[in-house]
Structure 1
Amino acid sequence: MVSGGRFSVLSRLPAAIVRAFLVILLVGLPSALLGSGTFDSTLIIALAAIFAALFTFIEYSAISPSMVEFRDAPPFNRARFAGLFAIVFCLVMIFQDAASPSRITVIFQMTGAAVGEVIDLPYSPVRLMVLMMPEDTDPALLAQLRSAAGLSYLIALLSVIGFIILLRLQRWPRRDDVFNVWVNLPTFDPTAGGDVVKRLQRDGRFNIILGILLPFLVPVALTLLLSLGAPISLQSAHTLIWTVATWAFLPASILMRGVALTRVADMIAMQRMKARDRVGAGPLAGA
């Protein structure tokens, strides 16, 4: 058992190293392309990248993760990382257009501006993000924020839609593979009480509702924090990039989790029905 466990850990090391490197690339992308500014900010970004990489490496190299869900049930985490990376990259391109414009940054800026104008409707999440800024904000920065928010929101929606399509095409979780609840849902305790299917369905629906509401709630919460004097500077490009990225990615991630939990609940319910059918057909088959 010990040798098998060691072999299992060693077999996961290359993939864990690659994932840790990709996390470092994601965290350091804004600083690499826009510049980090002061030495303190560079140090903070480096420490954040190292911490995130170590966490990712440990979670994906261990026999069972402690926090990362659906580790062995792709494409859940792959779809989430791809969506976040696309959001951060597009935001960097939009904000880089103001500092050092190029053909690529102009394309991203024009695309974001067009999407932002279409989505910037009364009471829409994009409009709430723009209204979150102080009244004396530079109009050029507001235009950048509108473009960034609109494009990020569109990418988040496409990520969720693409994830649902992948689940349908791959019949996730796959029927021919063993779905280990202990490994893929480390924070879920099946023995906590109550029916597992009902709990998964309840958690899935809650996550779906929360994911839909968060794009509206986050700007309101940030506005409240700013009014209370929270030390948050939204004039910095780096702060805006991670604020908008979190605002767009977090609801999409929670929505994906809700869909995934609902699918797992349906899988368990289907397996229960098949087991009952086999037990019910047993005496008749023996007769």
Structure 2
Amino acid sequence: MIFRLTSAVVRAILVVLLIATPSMLLPGVTSDATQIVALIAIFGAALTIFEYASAYPGLVEFRDAPPFNRIRFISLFASVFLLTVIARGQIVPTVITDFVTAVGALIGYVLDFPYSPVRLMVLMLPDDTPIQDQLTVRTAAGMSYLISLLSLVVFLMVLRVQRWPSRSGSFNVWVNLPTFDPTAGGDVVARLERDARFNVALGFLLPFLIPAVIKSASDLFGSVTLQNSQTMIWTVTAWAFLPASLFMRGIALGKVADMIARKRRQSYSASEEKPSCQPV
């Protein structure tokens, strides 16, 4: 119980650090923005403590199946931190900010080809957006998209090496998939495989759909501007992180389906090999 509570508190501190990173590193943050960030950080910390301190399932999937959520958190934190460094370099340039900005600019330039997600992200901006802001968004989009791709590569390598999730011990579907109801009807394996394919397909399409939807919505609700540093950081991070997260969820659901199917085959083979009792 003490270990579970300590682990929950440590995770809550990391969540607070993640949410507060842009406000702590960016200069000129207003007091109103600081208060809003503090409120969101408190809410996120409370939710994390309640989720990980409890032995019962809540909202977080794969809670007891590391390193799924750890890879996602590291990817999210790296994206927020590096985009904050890029945004800070526009106001207070240093050697570190110039280096990160140069790397992001190179990545954005390489990924900025016709119909690419990075190109669509830049085209989402209003036509009167200054060229410097367009370059900043392209730099941030390239950096964030590269981080999401690297997180997918790392996750696939971990699955390959650790044979996740079976090697980590018993996999509790009730705890790790709280939103999945095994009794809802139909074969569990078929439903998991269907959800896995849907998540992978949606993760592939989202980087293209999000800019198109925002661009279409701007005609009704006004142009979308990313000139505010914190708005740019969280928008670009969500644009790259959500598809990668759906990709990882789809791959994980596919692995769980394979594990359940393999356990079934082993159980069927054991029952067939067991000698039947014959009356004498």
Code of the aligned partner of 1:23: V
Residue 249 (structure 1) aligned to one of 241, 250, 254? 241
Structure 2 unmatched runs, 5+: none
Match of 2:33, as an amino acid? S
The offset of 1:268, in angstroms, is: 0.2
Alignment partner of 2:15 out of 23, 26, 30: 23
Structure 1 counterpart of 2:120: 128
Aligned equivalents of 2:145, 2:84: Cα separation in 1: 15
Per-residue CA deviation, residues 204-224 of structure 1 (Å, 9 max, x unaligned), is: 110000001000011111112
Asked if 1:240 corresponds to 2:223, the answer is: no
- 1:52 aligned to 2:44? yes
- 32-41 or 144-153: which moved more? 32-41
> Residue type matched to 2:162 in 1?
Q
Residue 106 of structure 1: how far off its partner (Å): 0.6
Deviations 1:32-52 (A, max 9, x none): 000362222111111111111
> Of residues 251, 259, 274 in structure 2, which corresponds to 1:267?
259
Paired amino acid for 2:165: P
- Greater shift in the superposed pair: 241-250 or 90-99: 90-99
- Amino acid in the other structure paired with 1:142: Q
Change (3 A) 1:127 1:284: same
> Residues 213 and 176 of structure 1: is their aligned pair in 2 closer, same or farther, counting only changes over 3 Å?
closer
Which segments of structure 1 move beyond 3 Å, counting only runs of 4 or more? 230-233
Residue deviations 1:97-155 (CA, integer Å, cap 9, x gap): 11011111011100001001100010100000000111111111111111110111011
Partner of 1:181: 173
Superposed counterparts of 1:266-285, under 5 Å: 266-283=258-275
User: How many Å apart are 1:230 and its aligned residue?
Assistant: 4.8
1:204, 1:259 within 8 Å by CA — same for their partners in 2? yes
SS in 1 for 2:275: helix
Residue 63 (structure 2) aligned to one of 58, 61, 71: 71
Give how far 1:283 is off.
1.9
CA–CA distance in structure 2, aligned partners of residues 56 and 44 of structure 1 = 18
Using the TM superposition, name which of 42-51 and 28-37 deviates more.
Answer: 28-37
CA distance in 2, matches of 1:176, 1:59: 20
TM-score by length of 2: 0.96
Quick check: 1:202 aligned with 2:200? no
SS at match of 2:227: coil
Code of the residue aligned with 2:190 in structure 1: it is: K
Root-mean-square deviation (CA), in Å? 1.7
Which of 5, 26, 31 in structure 2 is aligned with 1:39? Answer: 31
The alpha carbon displacement at 1:174 in A equals 2.5
Label 1:279 to 1:142 Cα distance change in 2 as closer, same or farther (>3 A): same
After superposition, give the CA deviation of every residue in 1:29-78 in whole Å (9 maximum; x if it has no partner): 00100036222211111111111111111111111231100000000000
Identity score, percent: 54
Normalising by structure 1, we get a TM-score of 0.94
79, 83, 87: which one pairs with 1:95?
87
The structural deviation recorded for 1:225 is 2.2
Structure 1: segments with no counterpart, 5+ residues: 1-6
8 Å CA contact retained: 1:36, 1:42: no
Q: Counterpart in 1 of 2:184?
A: 192
The 3 A distance-change label for structure 1 pair 23 and 230 is farther
Q: d(CA) in 2 for partners of 1:13 and 1:68?
A: 16
